[in-house]
Amino acid sequence: MIRIDSVTKRYPDGTVAVDRLSLEIPDRSVTVLVGPSGCGKTTTLRMINRMVEPTEGTILLDGADTRRQPVTTLRRSMGYVIQNAGLFQHRTIVDNIATVPRMLGWGKQRARERAAELMERVGLDSALAKRYPYQLSGGQQQRVGVARALAADPPVLLMDEPFSAVDPVVRKGLQDELLRIQDELGKTIVFVTHDIDEAIKLGTMVAVLREGGRLAQYAPPAELLSAPADAFVEDFLGADRGIRRLSFFPSAALQLTTGPVIEAGASAERIAAAGTPHLLVTDADRRPLGWAGRDELAAGGTGTGRLLPYGRPFVPGADSLRAALDCAVLSPTGWGVAVDGDGRVTGVVSQQSIGEAIRAAHTESRTDPDTAGAAR
Ligand SMILES: Nc1ncnc2c1ncn2[C@@H]1O[C@H](COP(=O)(O)OP(=O)(O)OP(=O)(O)O)[C@@H](O)[C@H]1O
Ligand SMILES: [Mg+2]
């Protein structure tokens, strides 16, 4: 565990970048530092690997004061990734990734094998190995930066706005990749961003800093959304706090019904027996085709020519209540469509049922904060 204990950084010109900051950064999880520009995020990150020395206070790594160990040993245990990846422009991708293992005295062959393994792990095509950084897209360069930081298998990864220079789609891909890598490798990641949505998506714990390097709140993301400590945090979280919080509630407990689900070609009796004015028509393999009015279906047989779109279905269990609600809100009938992992309909759910599930989830999370799980 990394423990930041009442740390202050005053730069020589008198600027107080970090002011008596205390944080306990748990092992094998992602801790995010978030806050407006100039609030001391980079300074804090660099104090962890001693690129910046604290003016006051101590930083402990597994209980030991980081000042008492050689700075080279410390840095070897901490990979560092920055915006725009900071790659060596005159080295190929494979040599960029192999930099630290080579510095540690690994043979060329072994270091290159390690680099190839890491390229695969971060989702880079091996065909890119011989290219130079300028021949890669911004997103690919960021992946190289992550691979390079992982090369010597350090237990800690420090990441300073690593994904902020790429477009939103690439960024989402990189974030998903990071969560997957974290799941597989169990690194202790300290991640700096000024984007609160990125913080909420990635963080197990999120530290919100304010101007002057003071800690405004340190909490799991679901708690930040439900109970911001003050007006600054609330303002920083922005609009739609309630809706965004629903991403932390699972959709598994939703009451699905199969009454309104019918197969194309179903009998007139079956159509008449459905209790709802709208029916979801599926193919013989139970894949959704679209919605139809019951009376219209009964009158015109089971032609599927004029079906209303069913929107984007959700997967109960895998998707959150937010996804289920979005589904129902987008649906022309107000009903959300639930499918299994293979896209086969398992039932439909009304907005009213989703509303009830939301109320139940809120009540439960008030009595037991642990139920606000990580259904991201
Ligand atoms: N070497 C330095 N000398 C003097 N002041 C500095 C130095 N480095 C940073 N600062 C100041 O310390 C404060 C915190 O800077 P820091 O870079 O840690 O902020 P940040 O939260 O990372 O900002 P950003 O989101 O813009 O990257 C700022 O006011 C900055 O101007
Ligand atoms: Mg910074």
In 3D space, the residue among 222, 186, 225 whose CA is nearest the CA of residue 204 turns out to be 222
Question: Where residue 373 falls among pLDDT bands split at 50, 70, 90?
Answer: very low
CA distance 156 to 159: 10
Average pLDDT over residues 89-109: 92
Nearest ligand, measured from the Cα of 47: 1
Looking from the CA of residue 209, the nearest atom of ligand 1 is: 21
Q: What is the pLDDT of residue 217?
A: 98
Rounded to whole angstroms, what are the CA distances from 265 to 273, 296, 304, 338? 15, 14, 9, 21
**Does ligand 1 have an atom closer than 6 angstroms to the CB of 41?**
yes
pLDDT tens-digit readout, 6-16: 999 999 999 99
Question: Where residue 367 falls among pLDDT bands split at 50, 70, 90?
Answer: low
**Does ligand 1 have an atom closer than 6 angstroms to the CB of 195?**
no
Radius of gyration of the chain (CA): 26
Transcribe 211-244 into DSSP letters.
TTTEEEEEE-HHHHHH--SSHHHHHHH-S-HHHH
Average pLDDT over residues 53-67: 96
**Does ligand 1 have an atom closer than 6 angstroms to the CB of 183?**
no
Taking residue 182's Cβ as centre, other Cβ atoms within 10 Å add up to 19
Helix intervals (H) in the chain:
41-48, 71-76, 93-97, 99-103, 108-121, 138-150, 168-185, 196-202, 221-226, 231-237, 241-245, 268-273, 294-300, 321-330, 351-367
Nearest ligand, measured from the Cα of 16: 1
Shortest-distance Cα residue to atom 3 of ligand 1: 11
pLDDT of 366 strictly over 90: no
CA distance 302 to 262: 10
Residues that place a CB less than 5 A from ion ligand 2? 42
Residue type at 84?
A: N
Question: Where residue 299 falls among pLDDT bands split at 50, 70, 90?
Answer: confident
Average pLDDT over residues 272-299: 88
Q: pTM for the full model?
A: 0.86
Question: Where residue 374 falls among pLDDT bands split at 50, 70, 90?
Answer: very low
**Does ligand 1 have an atom closer than 6 angstroms to the CB of 48?**
no
**Does ligand 1 have an atom closer than 6 angstroms to the CB of 43?**
yes
**Does ligand 1 have an atom closer than 6 angstroms to the CB of 210?**
no
Backbone angles phi, psi at 30, to 5 degrees: -105, 120
Average pLDDT over residues 332-359: 94
Residue scoring higher pLDDT (233 or 362)? 233
Q: What is the pLDDT of residue 371?
A: 44
Least confident piece of the model among 74-83, 184-193, 221-230, 297-306: 297-306
Cα 191 to ligand 1 centre (Å): 16
Cα 193 to ligand 2 centre (Å): 8
Cα 41 to ligand 2 centre (Å): 6
**Does ligand 1 have an atom closer than 6 angstroms to the CB of 42?**
yes
Do residues 313 and 288 make contact, with C-beta atoms less than 8 angstroms apart? yes
CA atoms within 13 A on the CB side of 291: 21
Q: What is the pLDDT of residue 376?
A: 45
pLDDT of 361 strictly over 90: no
Our mutation pick for probing the ligand 1 site, out of 19, 33, 37, 39, counting the most ligand atoms within 8 A of Cβ, is 39
Distance from chain centroid for Cα 29: 12
Backbone angles phi, psi at 214, to 5 degrees: -105, 145
Q: What is the pLDDT of residue 300?
A: 67
Residue percentage of the chain with pLDDT more than 70: 95
